[in-house]
Amino acid sequence: MLKFFFDVPVYRVPEEKYYREMNEYIERNMFPGPAEHNDSMRVFYSREPEQEVSHREHLREQFGGAWNYNEIIGYIRLHFLGNQIRGEYWGVKAKRQVRTRKKIFKYMTWKIAPEINIPNKADNEEIFKLILDYLTRCSKELRGRHIDTTILKSIGQYVDWKSLLVDR
């Protein structure tokens, strides 16, 4: 039986790109007309700031809401197999990856990238580095996607990887 130790989220796009696209969408929809119309809308919003806030919030939600969690299109389930690091991939069941709030995840592949062998004498720091190297390999397989290693990187230095590797 495989012992999974971490699920790494895969996002449709990086956070910065998502918010840049969202801001462009909001501006395009807040001020869609000719310059004189847009100027009059700016005057209106300066007199009625709550209307501007309300309209911007509506457009934010219409675009897709916050990036966190809403833009996840898959997960890499990391596990050890013998002395190897491997990761299964679970992705959104869709022909095309677009912004959406209705997702069904399905099993995609048992090995997203070639496994990495862990040397017998590797310490926790080396094992953690190899796990991050494996995820870098995965990012090459998932071109154009963003693998979010933020949480793994924040806890990885404190995990006893050797115990996890042996405890099977």
Half-sphere exposure of 151 (CA within 13 A, CB side): 8
Task: Please give the Cα distance from 105 to 83 (Å, whole number).
Answer: 28
Q: What is the pLDDT of residue 84?
A: 92
Q: Using alpha carbons only, give the angle 8, 161, 84 rounded to the nearest 5 degrees.
A: 75
- Are the beta carbons of 129 and 161 closer than 8 angstroms? no
Q: What is the pLDDT of residue 99?
A: 61
Average pLDDT over residues 147-165: 95
59 and 99 assigned to the same domain: no
Average pLDDT over residues 138-150: 93
55 and 85 assigned to the same domain: no
With a cut of 90, say whether residue 1 has pLDDT above it.
Answer: no
126 and 84 assigned to the same domain: yes
Average pLDDT over residues 90-105: 69
Q: What is the pLDDT of residue 108?
A: 80
Q: Which domain holds residue 112?
A: 3-14+68-166
CA distances (Å), 134 to each of 7, 27, 63, 72, 73, in order? 13, 40, 33, 20, 19
119 and 98 assigned to the same domain: yes
E strand or H helix that includes residue 5: strand 3-11
